[in-house]
Amino acid sequence: MRVLLYSRFSFSTIPFGIPIASALCAISLGLPHLTSAAEEKRAFPGLTFHAKANPLAKEAVTADWPRFNGPNDNAKSTETAIIGKWPDSGPRLLWERDKGEGYASPAIKDGLLTIFHRKDGHETIDCIDATNGTPVWKFQYPVEYRDRYGYSNGPRASPVIAGNHVYAHGVTAWLTCLEIKTGKKTWQRNLGDEFEIPQYFFGKGSTPIVIKDTLIVNVGGSKERCVVGFDRFTGKTKWITKDSWGASYSSPSRAVIHGKEVCLVFTGGESRPPEGGLLVIDPKDGSKLARFPWRSSKFESANAVPPLPIGDNRVFLSECYEKGGVVVEFDQDFAPSIVWSDETLNVHWMTPVLAGGALYGVAGRHQQGADVFCINPDNGKAYWRDRINWTEEMDGRILDLEFFRGAFLKVEDFFICLSEIGSLLIVKMDKKGWKTISKNQLFFAPGTWTLPALSKGLLYVMQNETDRRTGQGPRLLCYDLRKR
């Protein structure tokens, strides 16, 4: 029997186990010495240990993971001594931890990992030990949000770590700053009320970015208050970039264009008439250096792919529903012009990866028909385009699997690829083509749209929905990719 498998697109802080109705503080935990699996389960509900991590290789280069696209914000890891092939049983699972609703990825610094999710009617920021998953502190506040299209009701934006603080932008636009070591609240603002943000398609979903001492958010508020820069230490508003383009689900990125540091904000969510595009902003004062329209004319569409700097004066954008991909070039006065465009390069949400003189990504609005591309970023010509697929025997059935719309993480000379239903692969890709080195079905869960995080040789994978095969609910899984 052969089966084609696909899925649908488919304020209180609590000391652990002791609810507090209205306190707005966080707690640190003294972790007991554990002597048995039973004691571990009782001490840390929702956390399951499987194995101890291998020691790091002496020659290993490691890095923190402070934002959802990694240390350099480009979906590439700088780490070395990473396993480039695993056995048929898959990578070694160290531990797993239950999580709530949402699509946010982890942020990691100095051995502390933060996740942002929704549990029991609260948006929750959990800090845990990145090596063994044990809790360190928790901060949460009540949230009322229901996705009108039936997707997750949790946060879309990922936490960001800068210096000694972690920042979280909630689905209803609460913006929170906490001390990373203690969870103590430094400041918090209700941007929804303050900036009169309308109800967008899927709530708020743009991950903030920190440039020097400014936290930059695509707010999309009333009175054309489009992008706002906040003092990251105090939360006070430093500047506001006015524009009629609203908030998107794309996360701002940093670039240097003609020697000048800029912030790239790909705007454009729900609006009538539909509008949006790229704003190039000076992060010092919020002044608008350039404006390039790029959004579908269809009402129900939204920009979601982060803008990708290419070279010293070009940016790649992709809009999924109509216009596709484009490379924009800026002259010395920041006047934009189109180098090339291709409506078939319609990336939905993943961050394309620039490596070895080629641009890699996944195009396709829908799960079926999505294909992987490798193109020349100078002219948009394809080196190749293909659907990464394979067959796998499971429970007496032969499954025809595909990568569908997934995410790429570039590591050393290979890519770690996570499909949107939970297939984890190691793939070698270059201008000549692709070759699968390892693959493993971690789970069968739709909505696996979160880029894995890699720090100190450990890979963190978010399962955002229930496993259709086992019934296992959403969780964070940690795998050991350290070479011995």
Q: What is the pLDDT of residues 85-138, one digit of tens each?
A: 999 999 999 999 999 999 999 999 999 999 999 999 999 999 999 999 999 999
How far lies 151's CA from each of 103, 174, 177, 319, 432, in Å?
10, 20, 27, 20, 38
> How far apart (Å, rounded) are the C-alpha atoms in residues 178 and 163?
11
- Asked if pLDDT for residue 16 goes beyond 70, the answer is no
Q: Is residue 192 classed as helix, strand or coil in its secondary structure?
A: helix
CA quadruple 444, 202, 280, 194: dihedral sign? negative
pLDDT digits (tens, 9 = 90+) for 380-400: 999 999 999 999 888 889 989
pLDDT digits (tens, 9 = 90+) for 97-107: 999 999 999 99
> How far apart (Å, rounded) are the C-alpha atoms in residues 289 and 277?
13
CA dihedral 181, 186, 190, 194 (to 10 degrees): -150
305-322 in b/e form (b: 16+ CB < 10 A) is bbbbbbeebbbbbbbbbe
Q: Enter the DSSP assignment of 283.
A: T
Q: Which two tokens stand for residue 150?
A: 């039936």
pLDDT digits (tens, 9 = 90+) for 255-285: 999 999 999 999 998 888 999 999 999 999 9
Closest CA to 461 of 412, 406, 413: 406
Residues belonging to the chain = 484
CATH 3.90.800.10 holds for 206-248+250-342: no
Q: What are phi and psi of 273, to 5 degrees?
A: -70, 160
Residue 92, Cα to own-chain centre: how many angstroms?
A: 23
Helical (H) or strand (E) element with 104: none
Give 198 or 358, the one with higher predicted confidence: 358
Give 12 or 240, the one with higher predicted confidence: 240
Give me the percent of the chain exceeding a pLDDT of 90. Answer: 83
User: What is the band of 408 on the pLDDT scale with cuts at 50, 70, 90?
Assistant: very high
Mean pLDDT over each residue of the chain, to the nearest integer: 91
Whole-model pTM: value is 0.92
Instruction: Please tell me the predicted confidence (pLDDT) of residue 6.
Output: 39
User: What is the band of 484 on the pLDDT scale with cuts at 50, 70, 90?
Assistant: confident
Instruction: Please tell me the predicted confidence (pLDDT) of residue 394.
Output: 82
Phi-psi region of 171 (alpha: psi -120 to 50; beta: other; left: phi over 0): alpha
DSSP assignment of 394-458 equals: ETTEEEEEE--S-EEEEETTEEEEE-TTSEEEEEEEETTEEEEEEEEE----S------EEETTE
Tell me the mean pLDDT in the region 28-44: 56
pLDDT digits (tens, 9 = 90+) for 141-196: 999 999 888 888 999 999 999 999 999 999 999 999 999 999 999 999 999 999 99
- Asked if pLDDT for residue 5 goes beyond 90, the answer is no
Q: Which two tokens stand for residue 31?
A: 């972790």
Instruction: Please tell me the predicted confidence (pLDDT) of residue 27.
Output: 41
Q: Which two tokens stand for residue 356?
A: 């070895």
CA dihedral 190, 191, 197, 203 (to 10 degrees): -80
What string of H, E and C letters represents the secondary structure of 26-71?
CCCCCCCCCCCHHHHHHHCCCEEECCCCCCCCCCCCCCCECCCCCC
C-beta of residue 371 within 8 angstroms of C-beta of residue 387: yes
Instruction: Please tell me the predicted confidence (pLDDT) of residue 147.
Output: 87
Instruction: Please tell me the predicted confidence (pLDDT) of residue 422.
Output: 97
Tell me the mean pLDDT in the region 409-433: 98
